[in-house]
Structure 1
C-alpha cells in the first residue's frame, strides 16, 4: 500500500471519529430564524417602552412583564424552530438526533446559559436593569463556546463575537438594547446564513 493510501485511511478514520464525537446536524437556517424572531421581539419591546407612561421599567409593571413574556416567546420559538430544522437535517444525513454527542452538546450549552439566566433573574429581582443586555450576550457567548467542543467548531466564533458585544454593551449601558439587537438578531442572521451555505448546502 502506498503512503498516500495510508494518509487517506487516516483522514477517513479521523472524520469518522469527529462525526461520532460531535453533533454536526445543527441547521444554519435555525440561526437565521432565531435572528428574525429576536428582531421581531426587539421591535415589539421597543414599541412597548416607547409608548409606556413610566420613565423607567419597574419589576411589577405591566410593561416589564410583557417584555419578559416577549423574551420568553422569542426563546421558545427559536428552540422549537431549531429542533424541527435540526431533526430534518439529521434525517437527511441519516444520523440520530438524540445520541451521546447531542446530549453532551446540550449539557455543555445549558450549564453557562442556565447559570447566567438565574443570575440575571436575581439582579432583576433587585431592580438592576442596566447590565441585563450585556449579561445575556456574555453568558450566551460562553454557552456557545462551551458547546462548540461537541458540535461544529465554527460556533465558537459566534460565541466570541457575542462576548465581545456583551463587554462593549457593559461599557456603554445606555446602548445595551441595541447591542442585544445586534448580537441576537443581526449576528444570528449573518452567521446562520453563512453556516447554511457552508454546511447545509453540501
Structure 2
C-alpha cells in the first residue's frame, strides 16, 4: 500500500512539474549552441588577423581590439553580423532539438510555462541588447563582451524557475566570467568563447546525460 501511495505521489509530482515548467529543453541544444559560438569565435579571431589586429601580441592596433576606438566601420559591422549569425544558429539548433525531444516524449511545447520562461528570458536579453548597441554607438568596444555575458547570465537565472533549475548554475558561471572580464579589457573574445562556447558545451553534455 505504501509503495502504491509513493507511486501515486511521484506521478502527481511529475504532472505538476510538467504543467509548471518547460522541460522540453534538450542538452544537445546547449552543445550545438556552444559549437556555434566556438566556430564564430574562431572566425572573429581570423577577422582580426585579416584586419591587422594581432590579438595576442602587438599589431597595428593596441593589444586586442576592445580598447581601441578607431576600429574600421567595416570590421565592426562584420563583428555584429557574425554575432547575429551565431545567435540565429543557436536558436535554430535549440528549436530543432526541443521539437525533437517534445515529440519523442509526447510533451507539449507552447504552454503557459513556455511563455513565462521566454518572457523572463526576454527582459534581461532585450535590455542587454540595447545596452550593447549603445556601447557600439559610443565606441566603448571593451565592454561589449562583458555586457553580453552579464546580461545573458541574468536572463538564465531569471528564467530558472520556469525550466530546469540546473540552468541557474550556467547563469552564475556567465556572471562570474562577465565580472572578471570587466577587469581584463582586451581579452573579451577569450571570455566570450569560454562563456558561450565551452560552458555551453559542458552544460549541454551534463544536461543530456542527466535528463536523456
Q: TM-score, normalised by structure 1?
A: 0.93
Query: Does structure 1 retain, via aligned residues, the 8 Å contact 2:154–2:171?
Result: yes
Query: Does structure 2 retain, via aligned residues, the 8 Å contact 1:57–1:64?
Result: no
RMSD between aligned alpha carbons?
A: 1.6
Is residue 119 of structure 2 the alignment partner of residue 107 of structure 1?
yes
Question: 2: CA distance between counterparts of 1:116 and 1:12?
Answer: 40
Cα distance change, pair 106–59 in 1 and its aligned pair in 2 (3 A):
farther
Provide, for residues 74-114 of structure 1, a one-character-per-residue CA deviation record: whole Å limited to 9, x for no partner. Answer: 00010011101101100111111111111111111111111
Is residue 164 of structure 2 the alignment partner of residue 152 of structure 1?
yes
Structure 1 unaligned spans of 5+: none
Q: Please name the residue that 1:123 is paired with.
A: 135
Is residue 27 of structure 2 the alignment partner of residue 12 of structure 1?
no
Cα distance change, pair 60–98 in 1 and its aligned pair in 2 (3 A):
farther
Aligned residue among 65, 81, 88 for 1:69: 81
Is residue 178 of structure 2 the alignment partner of residue 166 of structure 1?
yes
Is residue 46 of structure 2 the alignment partner of residue 34 of structure 1?
no
Query: Does structure 1 retain, via aligned residues, the 8 Å contact 2:157–2:172?
Result: yes
The count of aligned residue pairs is 199
Q: Please name the residue that 2:45 is paired with.
A: 46
Q: Please name the residue that 2:93 is paired with.
A: 81
Query: Does structure 2 retain, via aligned residues, the 8 Å contact 1:169–1:179?
Result: yes
Question: 1: CA distance between counterparts of 2:111 and 2:69?
Answer: 43
Question: 1: CA distance between counterparts of 2:91 and 2:40?
Answer: 15
Provide, for residues 120-174 of structure 1, a one-character-per-residue CA deviation record: whole Å limited to 9, x for no partner. Answer: 1112101101111111001001111111110011011100110001001112112
Query: Does structure 2 retain, via aligned residues, the 8 Å contact 1:59–1:124?
Result: no
Q: TM-score, normalised by structure 2?
A: 0.88
Question: 1: CA distance between counterparts of 2:43 and 2:72?
Answer: 19
Greater helix share, structure number:
1
Deviation of residue 60 (structure 1)?
5.8
Question: 1: CA distance between counterparts of 2:75 and 2:187?
Answer: 19
Local SS of the residue matching 1:131: helix
Local SS of the residue matching 1:173: coil
